[in-house]
Amino acid sequence: MAKQNKPVLYVEGLSKTIRRRTIVQDISFEVGEGEIFGFLGPNGAGKTTTIRMLVGLIRPSKGKVKIGGYDLQTDFLKAISHVGCIVENPELYPYLTGRENLELFARMARIDHARIREVVEQVELTERIDDPVKTYSLGMRQRLGIAQALLGKPKLLILDEPTNGLDPAGIRELRAFIRKLARKDGISVFVSSHILHEVQLMCDRVAIIHQGKLVQTGPIGELVGDQSMVEWKIEPADRGLKVLQSLPYVTRWEQPDDGRILVHMPAEKIAETNRSLVDKQILVHEIRTHRPTLEDIFLQMTGGVESAASDL
Ligand SMILES: Nc1ncnc2c1ncn2[C@@H]1O[C@H](COP(=O)(O)OP(=O)(O)OP(=O)(O)O)[C@@H](O)[C@H]1O
């Protein structure tokens, strides 16, 4: 379980105004030890700008950032020594091997070369580390970038949309790898994303950012809820609908004219619901589950205010 008592990253009232335009406004949150914290928001919400402030690439207009207990403004070197970060894409030399890239970086950052073997094992690149980076898949490059970020033994890893451009297998692999880093090695991970499902599968807690402001922060299950929209094709539909309506966990339903019944219910109750229908001699032809999207969540949180979802 993530420990909440000692924040590795502490952010208070962070704001950024560029040419009189407020891009990030009064953002506060904490990331605990070994916690995977998702920073979720649509394109243009202010995620990269926030991350750039967290690692001192740009100066906040207002607010405070503490990393490992050190203030980023007043104790920059101590604070930044606790962070490994990849903003946008990892910077790698394609014609050098993975190992040569790490050696170069270790030399520049004055890190003992003995550490290279450890991080290569950590990111599971041992077998390919002596091949040129240009022969690596995007997922492997991403892992090499993470290896580079891990060289200085950071307490906190910051990743900006790390799954961008990866195929589904690469995304799964990276997700498992990030979880392992947090669970096994106790590293806190701050990861930005615009994909709700991805954050749901990977993160312990999440902050949702929209138009530069935090909409909500909390455990992902609490924010998203466990309600899915499940589509049933059943026969006879009217009697089937009565059975569905009688179930205590069915909160809402719709019956469009095309033979489907749309039910808001927890996805884990599908098997139980199916049995209830079959027990009452209802034929079940098809069941489909629709996961809520980030847009649905914004609509839910803002009570359907259109502007909240207009630019998703
Ligand atoms: N230096 C800058 N000058 C002016 N506007 C900027 C600057 N940097 C970012 N912005 C604007 O601030 C908004 C937030 O940008 P940011 O890159 O932080 O969003 P994001 O959530 O990371 O989105 P994406 O996923 O598309 O990168 C955007 O509208 C962007 O155009």
Quote the ipTM score. 0.93
Q: Which amino acid is at 242?
A: K
**Residue 152 placed within a domain:** yes
Residue nearest to atom 26 of ligand 1 (CA): 43
- Report pLDDT for 113: 84
Whole-angstrom CA distances from 217 to 26, 41, 226, 230, 311 are 13, 12, 17, 27, 21
Helices 138-150/168-185 angle, 10° precision: 20
Ligand 1 pocket test target in 14, 43, 47, 49 with most atoms within 8 Å of CB: 49
Residue nearest to atom 31 of ligand 1 (CA): 44
Check which CATH number belongs to the domain holding 115 and give it. 3.40.50.300
If asked whether residues 239 and 121 sit together in one domain, one would say no
Q: Are strands 261-266 and 9-18 parallel, antiparallel or unpaired?
A: unpaired
- Among positive and negative, which fits the CA dihedral 92, 94, 95, 100? positive
- Report pLDDT for 310: 34
Listed in sequence order, the residues at least 6 apart from 128 whose beta carbon sits closer than 8 Å to its beta carbon are 98, 135, 136, 140
Domain span holding position 277: 225-294
Listed in sequence order, the residues at least 6 apart from 307 whose beta carbon sits closer than 8 Å to its beta carbon are none
Q: Where a domain ends, among 171, 192, 218?
A: 218
10-residue averages of pLDDT along the chain (312 residues): 70 95 95 94 90 93 95 92 79 92 89 89 91 92 91 92 85 88 90 86 90 88 75 93 92 84 88 95 93 70 45 34
Phi, psi (5° rounding) for residue 65? -130, 130
**Residue 193 beta carbon below 6 angstroms from any ligand 1 atom:** no
Structural contact between residues 265 and 250, judged by C-beta atoms closer than 8 angstroms: yes
Half-sphere exposure of 124 (CA within 13 A, CB side): 9
**Residue 311 placed within a domain:** no
**Residue 42 beta carbon below 6 angstroms from any ligand 1 atom:** no
If asked whether residues 179 and 256 sit together in one domain, one would say no
How far is 151 from 268, CA to CA, in rounded Å?
41
Closest CA to 46 of 218, 220, 216, 213: 213
Residue nearest to atom 13 of ligand 1 (CA): 44
> Ligand 1, closest atom to CA 42?
21
**Residue 301 placed within a domain:** no
Q: Which amino acid is at 20?
A: R
If asked whether residues 270 and 160 sit together in one domain, one would say no
**Residue 305 placed within a domain:** no
If asked whether residues 210 and 250 sit together in one domain, one would say no
If asked whether residues 21 and 123 sit together in one domain, one would say yes
Half-sphere exposure of 188 (CA within 13 A, CB side): 22
**Residue 33 placed within a domain:** yes
Q: Where a domain ends, among 187, 218, 249?
A: 218
If asked whether residues 153 and 245 sit together in one domain, one would say no
**Residue 251 placed within a domain:** yes
If asked whether residues 148 and 15 sit together in one domain, one would say yes
Check which CATH number belongs to the domain holding 257 and give it. 3.30.70.100
Instruction: Pick left, alpha or beta for residue 215 (phi over 0 → left; psi -120 to 50 → alpha; otherwise beta).
Output: alpha
How far is 124 from 144, CA to CA, in rounded Å?
9
Q: Are strands 36-40 and 188-193 parallel, antiparallel or unpaired?
A: parallel
Residue nearest to atom 8 of ligand 1 (CA): 49
Q: Are strands 227-235 and 261-266 parallel, antiparallel or unpaired?
A: antiparallel
How far is 251 from 265, CA to CA, in rounded Å?
6
- Report pLDDT for 300: 66
Could you give the number of structural domains in the chain? 2
If asked whether residues 169 and 53 sit together in one domain, one would say yes
How far is 92 from 133, CA to CA, in rounded Å?
8
Closest CA to 133 of 148, 118, 119: 148
**Residue 270 placed within a domain:** yes
If asked whether residues 75 and 146 sit together in one domain, one would say yes
- Report pLDDT for 1: 45
Q: Where a domain ends, among 201, 218, 235?
A: 218
If asked whether residues 151 and 251 sit together in one domain, one would say no
If asked whether residues 253 and 128 sit together in one domain, one would say no
If asked whether residues 53 and 168 sit together in one domain, one would say yes
Phi, psi (5° rounding) for residue 135? -90, 0
- Among positive and negative, which fits the CA dihedral 116, 121, 127, 133? negative
**Residue 143 placed within a domain:** yes
Residue with the two structure tokens 């259109």 = 306
